[in-house]
Copies of this chain bind each other. A is one copy, B any other.
Amino acid sequence: MAVTIKDIARLANVSHTTVSRALNNSPLINDKTKNRIKQMADELNYTPNVNAKGLVTLRSYNIGLFFSTLSTGTSANFFYDVVRGVNMVIKDQYNLVVKSIDEFESNYNRISARQYDGIIVMSQTRADRVLIEHAISVGIPVVLLNRAAGDLNVGNILSDDLKGAYQLVDYILNCGHRQVGIIEGREGFQSTIQRKNGYIEALKDHGIEPNPELCIQGRYDVGSGYEAMRQLLKGKIRPSAVFCSNDDMAVGAIKAVIEADLQVPQDISIAGFDDNVFAAYLSPELTTVKRPIELISREGAAMIMRMIDHKLKSGKEHAKIPIEHITIESELVIRKSIAIFTPITATRKVGE
């Protein structure tokens, strides 16, 4: 049997109330007894019973980190950065509970405010909405990462994928490319749509009509990038550059190009998205868009902690939580996987 505050109380000849107060640093307790009790607790290796504590304080000390899916569509580097970022911030104040939303089979009843003090949703798809609404309805603070919250009353941190993709494709076009293809992400994901839209807008702004034959669906994994590129190579029109919706697919695409006895970027240029750890070490080094995933995750963790604190302070009832929305800029990373046909400076107007 583990030691409880009652055990300490008995040994210290005080009531368990005093022990409880002492260990929680209550100002009601004399400093002398407080220190004495703290020391005893230390010596006895006292560990508070989280269950008993949570039962009365209505807290669980769990923070949920929910991904839309943990199978296809979530790249390993992405996942790793997210968990690391969140973990870095919450430290040992909370337990980090990792879940995959697609496992719930739309039975969200088990998700209660008593089980999670807060939930961070790394959201890829609108289908997550049901879960988020459930969490809100039972009074759990929610932070949504990676896609726009829309009318949902949750904290929100996102990177501007559309803008990132736009800048990248704009750069590709400024390099003189005209037939630019795209390997899209997993169907239904918001990021897939955003990046495609950035691609389309950039093309249009350069007076080019997007060609459906140059748009191939992928799934964000290496294999799908490879398959998609092979498909592109079989097509009537050969693109001179291909924008892969993430770096993983870019690896697969490069492989397909090389297998076809062509060279990157001389014959076909390739760009990615994310700037994962491998991007700089591929051959050729990958031109891509840096999406600060770890930063987003850290910010998300900090935000959920603010929201939890606020909820605690403002009376234990369903309080209005001040909602914050933060957008984190992505950044074009120019390396060597895009061939330059036109001196770029020439196509840019000064000041733009």
**A-B CB contact pairs (8 Å), 29 listed:** A47-B114, A49-B112, A49-B114, A50-B60, A51-B52, A51-B114, A70-B84, A74-B80, A76-B80, A76-B81, A79-B79, A79-B80, A80-B80, A83-B83, A87-B98, A87-B103, A91-B103, A92-B104, A92-B110, A95-B97, A95-B99, A221-B277, A222-B277, A251-B278, A251-B281, A252-B281, A254-B283, A255-B281, A255-B282
Q: Is A96 an interface residue (CB 8 A)?
A: yes
Contact B83 A79 (CB under 8 A): yes
Chain A positions near chain B (C-beta within 8 angstroms): 2, 45-47, 49-52, 54-55, 60, 62, 70-71, 74, 76-77, 79-81, 83-84, 87, 91-92, 95-100, 103-104, 109-110, 112-115, 138, 221-223, 226, 248, 251-252, 254-255, 258, 276-278, 281-283
Chain B residues whose CB sits within 8 angstroms of the CB of A49 once the complex forms: 55, 112, 114
Considering only CB atoms, which chain B residue lies closest to A58 in the complex?
Answer: B51
A226 to B280, CA, bound (A): 11
Chain B residues whose CB sits within 8 angstroms of the CB of A74 once the complex forms: 80
Sort A-B residue pairs by CB-CB distance and give the 4 closest, nearest first.
Answer: A76-B80, A51-B54, A47-B112, A51-B55
Considering only CB atoms, which chain B residue lies closest to A47 in the complex?
Answer: B112
Point out which of A79, A98, A103 has the most chain B C-beta atoms below 10 A from its C-beta: A98
- One of B47, B76, B115, B222 near A79 (C-beta < 8 A): B76
Chain B residues whose CB sits within 8 angstroms of the CB of A248 once the complex forms: 277-278
A51 to B59, CA, bound (A): 9
CB distance from A77 to the nearest CB of B (A): 4
6 new A-B contacts, CB < 8 A, other than A2-B114, A70-B83, A98-B98, are A62-B95, A70-B84, A70-B87, A83-B98, A92-B104, A255-B282
Chain B residues whose CB sits within 8 angstroms of the CB of A276 once the complex forms: 76
A147 to B100, CA, bound (A): 28
CB distance from A252 to the nearest CB of B (A): 5
Chain B residues whose CB sits within 8 angstroms of the CB of A83 once the complex forms: 70, 79, 83, 98
Chain B residues whose CB sits within 8 angstroms of the CB of A104 once the complex forms: 92
A103 to B92, CA, bound (A): 8
Chain B residues whose CB sits within 8 angstroms of the CB of A138 once the complex forms: 2
Given contacts A55-B49, A103-B91, contact A281 B222 (CB under 8 A): yes
Point out which of A223, A251, A276 has the most chain B C-beta atoms below 10 A from its C-beta: A251
Point out which of A51, A80, A255 has the most chain B C-beta atoms below 10 A from its C-beta: A51
A87 to B103, CA, bound (A): 10
Point out which of A96, A99, A223, A254 has the most chain B C-beta atoms below 10 A from its C-beta: A96
Considering only CB atoms, which chain B residue lies closest to A111 in the complex?
Answer: B47
Contact A277 B76 (CB under 8 A): yes
Considering only CB atoms, which chain B residue lies closest to A251 in the complex?
Answer: B281
CB distance from A60 to the nearest CB of B (A): 7
CB distance from A319 to the nearest CB of B (A): 15
Given contacts A50-B114, A84-B71, contact A109 B45 (CB under 8 A): yes
Contact A112 B2 (CB under 8 A): yes
Chain B residues whose CB sits within 8 angstroms of the CB of A87 once the complex forms: 70, 98-100, 103
Chain B residues whose CB sits within 8 angstroms of the CB of A2 once the complex forms: 112-114, 138
